Amino acid sequence: MRPVVVCAESIPHSRPYAGALRAMGVATEAIRVVTPEDPLEGLRELGACAGGVLLCGGPDIEPRRYGQTARTEAGLTLMPELDAREWELLEGAHSARTPLLAICRGMQVVNVFLGGTLYQDVKLELPGVTEHYIRTAPDFLAHDVEVLQGSLPIGQLLSRERPRTNSRHHQAVKDLGRGLLPVAYSPDGLLEVMQMPPGGWWVWAVQWHPENLLRHEQQRQIWVAFVREVKRANDRLAAVAEAS
């Protein structure tokens, strides 16, 4: 089985995400964690040949990557070495159509990678927006999510019952990247879910943290869907290898 690549700011930060994968039946030896400590060389190839790529939550993306200058008052925490590694993985995943699940910062990274932009700080740029960085228990359900595209695969999953999510972010998607489809929003209008069109590159992205919500069946199904796509990708690659 080709690995599921988990990209995070550190090994400790990767653990809840790797734990969610293991809870879905992914073997520990099939999980490859990438952090800023890893060399850049070979990451593009890793993204292309992996069974799946998972981008985790974490610090802010360098604003220059989406054509902006960092605003001092936005209180950014930057880790350009993480940005660089995620971009290499995404280059490979994009070229090979490797299944991709993107969570919180990961959603923002995918959006910027595809040419989109971000609000550097939602409270700074959108006066009146509700608090989205909730410093309580990781599984605290902070707000509802309104699904507007229930016909899309992730929209269908989330439409089974009204989603409630945790929330730990101060940035958000502003302008959508190329090809991405908006699926669901928070009550105050921030994009919470997006995906690529069905039948092409499998990309699901959520702004919250489903790795902390596995006791909720609806949230577990996000992980189930990703692991199912990883298996399909592995089966396709195995079939190609046998034919050649």
- 41 catalytic? Reply is no
Tokens of 97: 């159509």
C-alpha angle 230/18/42, rounded to 5°?
A: 65
Per residue in 49-62, pLDDT tens? 999 999 999 999 99
Domain range for 176 is 4-243
pLDDT at 238 exceeding the cut of 90: no
Query: Which residue among 9, 88, 192, 211 is the active-site one?
Result: 211
pLDDT at 103 exceeding the cut of 80: yes
Q: How confident is the model at residue 243 (pLDDT cuts 50, 70, 90)?
A: confident
Distance CA 232, CA 59 (A): 31
Q: How many domains does the chain have?
A: 1
Per residue in 129-172, pLDDT tens? 999 999 889 999 999 999 999 999 999 999 998 899 999 999 99
pLDDT at 235: 87
Percent over 90 (pLDDT), the chain: 92
Query: Which residue among 7, 104, 132, 192 is the active-site one?
Result: 104
Q: How confident is the model at residue 176 (pLDDT cuts 50, 70, 90)?
A: very high
Q: How confident is the model at residue 239 (pLDDT cuts 50, 70, 90)?
A: confident
Per residue in 82-91, pLDDT tens? 999 999 999 9
pLDDT at 242: 73
pLDDT at 218: 96
pLDDT at 48: 97
Query: Which residue among 7, 192, 209, 229 is the active-site one?
Result: 209
- 13 catalytic? Reply is no
Tokens of 68: 């902006």
pLDDT at 240: 73
- Write down the pTM of the prediction: 0.96
- 211 catalytic? Reply is yes
CATH of residue 207's domain is: 3.40.50.880
